[in-house]
């Protein structure tokens, strides 16, 4: 099960950190030549640099989809390349639709040779729209991270709206995520159905943890969006696990010039050490 595989990978690397691949041509240390070739060179270099430091990488699908079929083909080859380097790979595609279409998305992204280990899902269409992803994830031994409380400031517009009976809209989502993930809790005590919760939102961490005791929280917003290590313990389970802190720009654009790969590795190591120390 994905929850157990993630738990083992985190133990082997020493801290629950994930490096995000969000390649933007203008920011690449070497953007020479054909754009997608430059993106490929960069992403391959990042995978080489972080393998063995971070257990997980998260690839932002949008950065590749914008280049059409050739971009998607590159995305798939990076998923394969990440897994070949011993990394778990999350495809951050944030899919969601009515059940029939959700099934197509789930099969497209979670099965086959270029499938990622886990996929981000938008569950705001409701439980019937998430169940097809859960069914395919279970069959494939894959994981899901369902958006619960996102890292952006505007998340509060809807996710923070109070609901009858207590809590807010994100609480209702949390309850659904726990429910659909209940059958996928492995020996680690963690479900293969996790939740996306912003590292920028420590003020709701304990409440969401109480609502989702078995979920791994994928925590974006660390670094470039202002999230830091000080609030991390609040998101974790009593055991100190159940979190996966992810950062993209603050790690992958850490260096320029010929030594950029070493700078990326150094930034990933610093993040691993900070996160490890914060979680104890």
Ligand X SMILES: O=c1ccn([C@@H]2O[C@H](COP(=O)(O)O)[C@@H](O)[C@H]2O)c(=O)[nH]1
DSSP string, 202-218: GGGHHHHHHH-TT--EE
Residue 40 near ligand X by CB under 6 A? no
Q: How far apart are CA 3 and CA 143, in angstroms?
A: 7
The nearer residue to ligand X, 1 or 193, going by C-beta atoms, is 193
The nearer residue to ligand X, 101 or 225, going by C-beta atoms, is 225
Q: How far apart are CA 27 and CA 139, in angstroms?
A: 39
The nearer residue to ligand X, 91 or 150, going by C-beta atoms, is 150
Residue 22 near ligand X by CB under 6 A? yes
Q: How many chain residues bind ligand X (CB under 6 A)?
A: 16
DSSP state of 258: G
Inter-CA distances, 44 with 21, 35, 116, 126, Å: 10, 14, 16, 37
The pattern of x and - marking residues 187 through 206 that bind ligand X according to CB under 6 A reads: ---------x-x--------
Residue 92 near ligand X by CB under 6 A? yes
Dihedral sign from CA coordinates of 207, 271, 147, 108: negative
Residue 122 near ligand X by CB under 6 A? no
The nearer residue to ligand X, 1 or 95, going by C-beta atoms, is 95
Pairing mode of beta strands 17-21, 243-247: parallel
SS3 assignment, position 100: helix
Residue 60 near ligand X by CB under 6 A? yes
The nearer residue to ligand X, 1 or 205, going by C-beta atoms, is 205
CB of 76 within 8 A of CB of 108? no
Residue 223 near ligand X by CB under 6 A? yes
| Residue 50 C-beta: closest distance to ligand X, Å | 14
94 labelled catalytic: yes
| Residue 196 C-beta: closest distance to ligand X, Å | 5
CB of 30 within 8 A of CB of 72? no
Residue 221 near ligand X by CB under 6 A? yes
DSSP state of 200: T
CB of 248 within 8 A of CB of 42? no
Residue 242 near ligand X by CB under 6 A? no
Q: How far apart are CA 214 and CA 188, in angstroms?
A: 9
Among 77, 111, 122, 225, binds ligand X (CB under 6 A): 225
141-180: which residues touch ligand X (CB under 6 A)? 150-151
Q: How far apart are CA 160 and CA 166, in angstroms?
A: 12
Residue 247 near ligand X by CB under 6 A? yes
- 270 backbone dihedrals φ, ψ, rounded to 5°: -65, -45
Q: How far apart are CA 204 and CA 206, in angstroms?
A: 6
The nearer residue to ligand X, 2 or 145, going by C-beta atoms, is 145
- Of the ranges 42-50, 109-117, 217-225, 231-239, which one interacts with ligand X (CB under 6 A)? 217-225
- Of the ranges 24-32, 181-189, 220-228, 263-271, which one interacts with ligand X (CB under 6 A)? 220-228
| Residues in contact with ligand X by the rule CB under 6 A | 20, 22, 60, 92, 150-151, 196, 198, 220-221, 223-225, 247-249
Q: Active-site residue numbers?
A: 94
């Amino acid at each position: 099960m994905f929850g157990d595989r993630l738990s083992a990978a985190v133990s082997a690397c020493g801290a629950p950190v994930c490096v995000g691949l969000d390649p933007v041509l203008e920011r690449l240390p070497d953007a020479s030549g054909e754009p997608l070739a430059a993106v490929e060179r960069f992403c391959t270099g990042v995978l080489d640099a972080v393998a063995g430091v971070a257990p997980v990488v998260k690839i932002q699908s949008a950065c590749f989809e914008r280049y059409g079929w050739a971009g998607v083909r590159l995305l798939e080859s990076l998923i394969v390349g990440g897994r070949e380097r011993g990394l778990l790979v999350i495809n951050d595609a944030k899919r969601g639709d009515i059940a029939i279409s959700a099934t197509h998305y789930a099969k497209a992204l979670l099965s086959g040779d270029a499938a990622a280990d886990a996929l981000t899902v938008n569950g705001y269409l409701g439980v019937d729209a998430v169940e097809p992803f859960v069914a395919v994830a279970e069959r494939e031994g894959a994981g899901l991270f369902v958006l619960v409380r996102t890292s952006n400031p505007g998340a509060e517009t809807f996710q923070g709206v109070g609901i009858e009976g207590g809590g807010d809209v994100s609480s209702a989502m949390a309850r659904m995520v726990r429910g659909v993930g209940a059958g996928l809790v492995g020996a680690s005590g963690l479900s293969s159905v996790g939740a996306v919760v912003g590292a920028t939102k420590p003020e709701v961490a304990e409440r969401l943890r109480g609502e989702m005791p078995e979920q791994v929280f994928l925590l974006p917003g660390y670094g470039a969006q202002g999230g830091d290590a000080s609030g991390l313990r609040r998101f974790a389970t009593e055991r100190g696990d159940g979190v996966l802190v992810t950062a993209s720009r603050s790690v992958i654009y850490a260096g320029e010039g010929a030594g950029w790969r070493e700078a990326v590795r150094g930034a990933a190591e610093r993040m691993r050490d900070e996160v490890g120390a914060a979680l104890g």
